[in-house]
């Protein structure tokens, strides 16, 4: 069911739900959010995980009440295709930064590349790129780097569940371009994989292309371009709130009495479902996202309309 709200200076807004956007290169994630706010005619829009301006691909956008689901989307696993250039290191670990070191990489063998990538697979301690969005004393690391500071970030434990070598291209004599397919946990930096592979091979490395192909169960095949969304505005939501929750979470169906209790923040009897999970009312509407603890099923967020 559509929930419409009147906002100052804006017309009626689009339905609550998620949009899987195919982000173009050259735009920040915030740029995409700003465009969707205009198209959906609401300020209540957010994104489920930053993509760098040079990156393209899956960016999950929440509209209306669905913005409250984004905290779960941000923590979901992600997949990418990427190109690593061996033979050059940059200040940003990607193609947007200045080259700070060059080492001819033409003699690096395919076998050595495979070994370097294998060492970066599984649970690893990864030092994020110095130009990441991680905050240091309240200020983003990338801002400190741009202001001339030297930034060192502590390593974080991440999981790279798949790092598949797709192709090795030797189109130029002193650099090697390596195409990879990556599936990893939230918080993994693909730029750091490029940097660390180059370090392990002794020639330096940086990322020249990045395309996010999936976030959780949301894949590139269902993503809409901004041009497509522009043509159907303000009806831009592709997954209404209940359908989005049903896709992303395990499901529990509540009785009418349980619906009343849960919609007012009260606990339910446990159902033995590994949480968090989505609870739906008898008509199929989303009531809450719930987890079970201390023998009760308790709402993490209540999403039933007031």
Q: Does 52 qualify as catalytic in the annotation?
A: yes
Q: Which helix (H) or strand (E) holds 170?
A: strand 156-172
SS3 state of residue 37: helix
Query: 85 pairs with which residues across the strands?
Result: 177, 206
Q: How many CB atoms lie within 10 A of CB 8?
A: 5
CA distances from 174 to 94, 102, 103, 164 (A): 18, 9, 8, 23
Asked whether the beta carbons of 4 and 14 are under 8 A apart, the reply is no
Cis ω for the linkage preceding 276 (within 30 of 0): yes
Tell me the torsion sign for CA atoms 45, 289, 19, 179: positive
Q: Please name which of 61, 22, 26, 59 lies closest in space to residue 44, comparing C-alpha atoms.
A: 61
Q: Which of 11, 12, 22, 52 is catalytic?
A: 52
CA distances from 169 to 69, 172, 182, 213 (A): 41, 9, 18, 22
Residues contacting residue 171 through CB under 8 Å, at least 6 positions apart? 177
The C-alpha atoms of residue 224 and residue 232 are separated, in whole angstroms, by: 11
Cite the DSSP H helix spans in 66-189.
70-74, 110-118, 141-146
The C-alpha atoms of residue 63 and residue 74 are separated, in whole angstroms, by: 15
Q: Which residues are catalytic?
A: 52
């Amino acid at each position: 069911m559509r929930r419409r709200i009147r906002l100052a200076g804006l017309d009626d807004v689009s339905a609550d739900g998620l949009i899987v956007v195919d982000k173009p290169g050259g735009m920040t994630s915030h740029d995409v959010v700003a465009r969707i706010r205009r198209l959906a005619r609401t300020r209540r829009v957010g994104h489920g995980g930053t993509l760098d301006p040079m990156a393209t691909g899956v960016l999950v956008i929440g509209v209306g009440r669905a913005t409250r689901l984004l905290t779960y989307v941000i923590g979901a696993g992600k997949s990418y295709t990427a190109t690593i250039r061996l033979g050059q290191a940059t200040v940003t670990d990607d193609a947007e930064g200045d080259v700070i070191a060059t080492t001819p990489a033409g003699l690096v063998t395919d076998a050595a590349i495979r070994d370097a990538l294998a060492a970066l697979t599984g649970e690893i301690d990864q030092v994020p790129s110095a130009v990441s969005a991680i905050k240091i004393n309240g200020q983003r690391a990338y801002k400190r780097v741009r202001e001339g500071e030297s930034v060192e970030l502590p390593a974080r434990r991440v999981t790279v569940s798949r790092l598949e070598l797709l192709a090795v291209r030797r189109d130029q004599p002193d650099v090697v371009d390596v195409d990879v397919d990556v599936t990893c946990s939230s918080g993994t930096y693909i730029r750091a994989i490029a940097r660390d592979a180059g370090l392990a091979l002794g020639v330096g490395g940086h990322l020249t292309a990045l395309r996010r192909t999936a976030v959780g169960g949301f894949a590139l095949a269902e993503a809409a371009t901004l041009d497509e969304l522009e043509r159907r505005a303000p009806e831009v939501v592709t997954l209404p709130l209940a359908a989005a929750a049903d896709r992303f979470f395990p499901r529990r169906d509540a009785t009418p009495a349980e619906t009343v209790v849960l919609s007012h923040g009260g606990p339910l009897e446990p159902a033995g479902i590994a949480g968090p999970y989505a609870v739906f009312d008898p008509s199929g509407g989303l009531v809450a996202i719930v987890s079970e603890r201390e023998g009760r099923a308790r709402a993490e967020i209540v999403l039933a309309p007031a």
